Structure 1
Amino acid sequence: MASIVRPSLLRQACSAAPTARMLSTRASINASQRIAQPSFVRSAVPTPMKAAAFHASAKRAILPPGPQHVEGTANDPVPVPPAEPTHGSYHWTFERILAAGLIPLTVAPFAAGTQHPVLDATLCASLLIHSHIGFDSMVIDYIPKKRFPKSRALFTWGLRAGTVVVAIGLYEFETNDVGLTEAIKRVWTA
């Protein structure tokens, strides 16, 4: 209802009203010509409706584009990064094994009914590494190193610092408190 009183919609509605030029164009086509013309020719006559009246707001970019520069010419070859085995198939395989291993690690303490500190520490470490890899992938995907080198370094070091803080917190929680699985069990039955 509030969109009706929006000034931009009011301007669009006023500009969509039939003007004198459009009325004179329509009046120049007499009734005999309208009947003789096929439908696709009749549709070429301008109509007072505009599609812009249905748009809620102007198109605006969320963020301004980053620096635009081209290195080299169109005929230069693309630089190939050096090969690193940890960023290839081994990296992908490690991520999949870790993700698949979290399923039995999450269920095992509750299914067995025992809270062993080694199993609890393994679950905490696996969750921490899995989360770090996931957030690191987000930083790599959404903050390109070539366009935003300082922002990329800031977010990468921020992620590393956050991972260390969480690791210290989990260690303190495991050694000085009840542990992760016991805390989940208590919250679940509370």
Structure 2
Amino acid sequence: MFKSVGVSGICQRSLSLKSLSFRPFLDSFKLIPQPAGHVVGSLNDPFVPPAADHVHGSYHWTYDRLMTVAMIPLSMTPFISGIAHPIIDAGLCSLLLLHCKAGFESCIVDYIPKRVYGIWHNIAMRLLQLGSWISLYGIYVLETESNGMFEFISSIWGA
């Protein structure tokens, strides 16, 4: 009924515990090796076009230009008219944040590509998202607790 375990069985169990490694798994942090010239496949393989994604194509460029053009009158209105409206101030701050996020995201996509850097690309994108959310909270605090960004800039220039 009961099987006796001798000294050799205990030694085997202790050896298996010794062979366990408690080192962290760091292989996912290594760079992904690339083929020479970044050419995947051979010359005879047919071209496989990427899936169409209109958000990251020409529409992305159009949205970026519209954000940039929309910031011009929003930034000039309080300084010309002398009246700072909270809606104009919040709109400019939000557009400026979106514009900066799009610019940093483009830098990450260009200089930390996912096919080469793998997890580092994901980490950079997550840090950008975290920074954007913290900045959005900063805009909220600036708009609710003080008189907004225009008043802040005017106080710096007037000081």
Instruction: Specify if TM > 0.5.
Output: yes
1:118 equivalent to 2:87? Answer: yes
Q: Report what 1:187 is aligned to.
A: 156
Report 1 or 2 for greater relative contact order, CA contacts < 8 Å, sequence distance ≥ 6.
2
Contact kept in structure 1, 2:112 and 2:120, CA below 8 Å: yes
Q: Which has the higher helix share?
A: 2
* Distance in structure 2 (CA, Å) of the matches to 1:181 and 1:101: 17
Contact kept in structure 1, 2:112 and 2:121, CA below 8 Å: yes
Q: Report what 1:67 is aligned to.
A: 33
C-alpha displacement of 1:180: 0.4
Matched position secondary structure for 1:79: coil
Q: Report what 1:149 is aligned to.
A: 118
Over the residues paired in the alignment, what is the CA RMSD in angstroms? 1.5
* Distance in structure 2 (CA, Å) of the matches to 1:150 and 1:79: 25
C-alpha displacement of 1:176: 1.1
Structure 1 gap segments, 5+ residues each = 1-64
Cα-to-partner distance string for 1:37-57 (whole Å, 9 max, x where unaligned): xxxxxxxxxxxxxxxxxxxxx
Q: Report what 2:136 is aligned to.
A: 167
Residue correspondences, number: 126
Rg comparison, structure with higher value: 1
Structure 2 gap segments, 5+ residues each = 1-30
Q: Report what 1:109 is aligned to.
A: 78
* Distance in structure 2 (CA, Å) of the matches to 1:79 and 1:148: 23
Matched position secondary structure for 1:115: coil
Residue identity in the other structure for 2:117: F
Q: Percent identity?
A: 40
Cα distance change of structure 1 residues 126 and 117 upon mapping to structure 2, 3 Å threshold: same
Residue identity in the other structure for 2:129: R
Q: What TM-score results when the alignment is normalised by the length of structure 1?
A: 0.63
Q: What TM-score results when the alignment is normalised by the length of structure 2?
A: 0.74
1:94 equivalent to 2:63? Answer: yes
* Distance in structure 2 (CA, Å) of the matches to 1:122 and 1:96: 16
Cα-to-partner distance string for 1:125-152 (whole Å, 9 max, x where unaligned): 0100000000000001101111111111
Matched position secondary structure for 1:146: helix
* Distance in structure 2 (CA, Å) of the matches to 1:78 and 1:142: 25
